[in-house]
């Protein structure tokens, strides 16, 4: 199957709310204002309710109740709100997929996102970008399940969604893998090119020109997979992508000793994907 043929399948390309599409497009617009985004969000009841819940969640530790979307945008900051809107829009665009545990998928994706954000802050690169692309990095798996359900279920039997061999099995079965599909989806949803590039290259961040956020997402996906699969200390050590980490000046101890527990990093963020 060609990648183009997958996206031509009736169910493959999920629709996203108009306001989310507008917010995605605002990534490319430097002059867009907080008031403008606030007005657009206030018109979407579901999104504005989620943003208010998140703004008042334990994650942000605010001392007063945030009552309006405009206040939430002011308090959270423009980049964070854009990130939250896009995340919520993505999670809502795939409702039910045969054979896919969406709860597991989004929990793993959110873990990847919060680890990527933590690492990005540590490496002094754009943490909102790292969070969003971390959340999106595996979304190609959902597109494959939506567009080619029978073939995807056959792949599931050989390598589950969190199996490190998954990408290879998909390439053998389809001729492409979920990172390529996710990169194409990001293009079709009109994300800036940087999003597609990180999603496409995160499985092998040392293969081409080195990019810090691509390496961060690679490490974050490993850490989230380890969390979901309950790796022991020995398994963490044996699977640790040491060559990628070394390029960022990181050691395993950063993940096992310095980084807060994933439940703490993602506390209050589950609102995004539920």
Whole-angstrom Cα distance, residue 131 to residue 143?
20
Q: State which of 68, 93, 118 marks the end of a domain.
A: 93
Same-domain pairing of 28 and 134? no
Q: Is residue 150 part of a domain?
A: yes
pLDDT at 134: 95
Q: Is residue 2 part of a domain?
A: no
pLDDT at 55: 81
pLDDT at 242: 97
Same-domain pairing of 206 and 274? yes
Same-domain pairing of 269 and 181? yes
pTM of the model: 0.88
Cβ proximity of 214 and 197 under 8 Å: yes
User: Comparing C-alpha atoms, which of 110, 93, 101 is closest to residue 21?
Assistant: 93
Cβ proximity of 135 and 105 under 8 Å: no
For the domain that residue 170 is a member of, what is the CATH number? 1.10.3210.10
Same-domain pairing of 55 and 149? no
Q: Is residue 4 part of a domain?
A: no
Cβ proximity of 199 and 186 under 8 Å: yes
Q: Structurally, how many domains does the chain consist of?
A: 2
Q: Tokens 């310095």 identify what position?
A: 258
pLDDT at 171: 96
Same-domain pairing of 146 and 227? yes
Number of other CB atoms surrounding residue 39 within 10 Å: 13
Same-domain pairing of 101 and 86? no
Full pLDDT tens readout for the chain, 274 residues: 689 899 888 777 777 778 888 878 777 777 777 777 788 888 888 888 888 887 887 777 777 888 888 888 888 877 777 777 877 777 777 778 888 898 899 999 999 999 999 999 999 999 989 998 999 999 999 999 989 999 999 999 999 999 989 999 999 999 999 999 999 998 988 888 999 999 999 999 999 899 999 999 999 999 999 999 999 999 999 999 999 999 999 999 999 999 999 998 888 777 667 6
CA 57, chain centre distance (Å): 20
Same-domain pairing of 161 and 252? yes
Q: Is residue 209 part of a domain?
A: yes
Q: Is residue 31 part of a domain?
A: yes
Q: Is residue 154 part of a domain?
A: yes
Q: State which of 33, 66, 93 marks the end of a domain.
A: 93
Q: State which of 50, 71, 93 marks the end of a domain.
A: 93
Whole-angstrom Cα distance, residue 119 to residue 88?
22
pLDDT at 274: 66
Q: Is residue 137 part of a domain?
A: yes
pLDDT at 269: 75
pLDDT at 244: 98
Same-domain pairing of 64 and 144? no
Whole-angstrom Cα distance, residue 127 to residue 120?
5
Same-domain pairing of 148 and 30? no
Same-domain pairing of 205 and 110? yes
Residue 218 belongs to domain spanning: 95-274
Same-domain pairing of 273 and 200? yes
DSSP secondary structure letter of residue 255: I
């Amino acid at each position: 199957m060609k990648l183009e043929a997958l996206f031509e399948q009736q169910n493959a390309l999920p629709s996203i709310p108009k306001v989310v599409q507008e917010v995605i497009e605002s990534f490319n617009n430097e002059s867009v204002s907080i008031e403008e985004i606030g007005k657009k969000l206030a018109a979407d009841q579901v999104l504005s309710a989620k943003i208010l819940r998140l703004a008042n969640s334990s994650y942000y530790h605010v001392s007063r109740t945030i009552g309006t979307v405009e206040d939430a945008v002011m308090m959270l900051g423009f980049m964070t709100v854009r990130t939250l809107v896009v995340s919520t829009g993505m999670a809502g665009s795939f409702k039910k997929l045969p054979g896919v545990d969406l709860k597991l998928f989004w929990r793993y994706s959110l873990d990847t996102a919060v680890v990527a954000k933590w690492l990005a802050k540590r490496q002094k690169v754009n943490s909102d970008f790292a969070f969003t692309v971390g959340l999106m990095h595996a979304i190609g798996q959902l597109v494959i399940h939506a567009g080619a359900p029978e073939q995807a279920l056959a792949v599931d039997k050989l390598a589950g969604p969190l199996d490190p061999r998954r990408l290879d099995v998909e390439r053998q079965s389809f001729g492409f893998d979920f990172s390529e599909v996710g990169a194409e989806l990001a293009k079709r949803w009109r994300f800036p090119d940087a999003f597609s590039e990180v999603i496409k290259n995160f499985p092998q961040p040392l293969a081409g020109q080195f990019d810090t956020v691509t390496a961060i997402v690679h490490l974050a996906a490993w850490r989230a997979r380890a969390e979901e699969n309950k790796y022991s200390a020995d398994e963490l050590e044996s699977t640790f992508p040491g060559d990628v980490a070394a390029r960022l000046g990181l050691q395993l101890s950063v993940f096992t000793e310095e980084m807060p527990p994933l439940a703490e990093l993602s506390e209050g963020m589950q609102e995004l994907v539920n």
